Structure formats: C-alpha cells, structure tokens
Amino acid sequence: AYKTVYEFLGSENLEKANDNKFDYSTCADLKEAFNIATTHALAGDTILLSPATASYDQYSNYIERGKHFNELVMNYETECAKK
C-alpha cells in the first residue's frame, strides 16, 4: 500500500485546494520542492513528480519539466554515490 507522506505545492492557490488533508510546503520551483522532498524522504521512499497545474511560467512544456526532474534525480544519485 502507498500513502502520501508529504505534499509539495507550487502556488498559493493550491494551498486552498489541499484543504489541509496533508502536511505540505509551498515551493517556488521544482528544484526547491525536490530538495525538500529528498530531505524528508527515507531510504526506499519514492518521490513522485505529479504536477497539479501547468507550469508554463517556468517551462515551455511538460517535456522540459520532466527533463529537469530527471536531471535533479541524476544529480541527487551522483551526490549520494559520493557519500
């Protein structure tokens, strides 16, 4: 079974949509959300990119956003391997 441990929201409008069902943080961008998520995650946890809204103010399209998420993951894995 899966459960949401922590939710990361990208705008103040989403805070209202959350309706206080989960612990959450409002993040300015994907990198900030990823960094906070990796801080909260434990070994074996999954960090899922599941945008609730479009992010055209930061990316041209969903492909660019997905590539950025993949880059964050690869950089994180590289840093973890160094430890």
pTM of the full structure: 0.70
Cα(29)–Cα(8) distance, integer angstroms: 10
Nearest Cα neighbor of 58 from 33, 23, 78, 75 is: 33
pLDDT in tens, 26-81: 778 888 888 888 888 888 888 877 776 778 888 999 899 889 999 999 999 999 88
H or E, element range at 72: helix 62-82
CB neighbours of 43 closer than 8 A, spacing ≥ 6?
A: none
Residue 19 has what pLDDT? 61
- For the chain, state the CA radius of gyration: 13
CA distances from 1 to 4, 49, 78 (A): 10, 18, 29
Q: Tens of pLDDT along 4-34?
A: 455 555 555 555 555 656 666 777 888 888 8
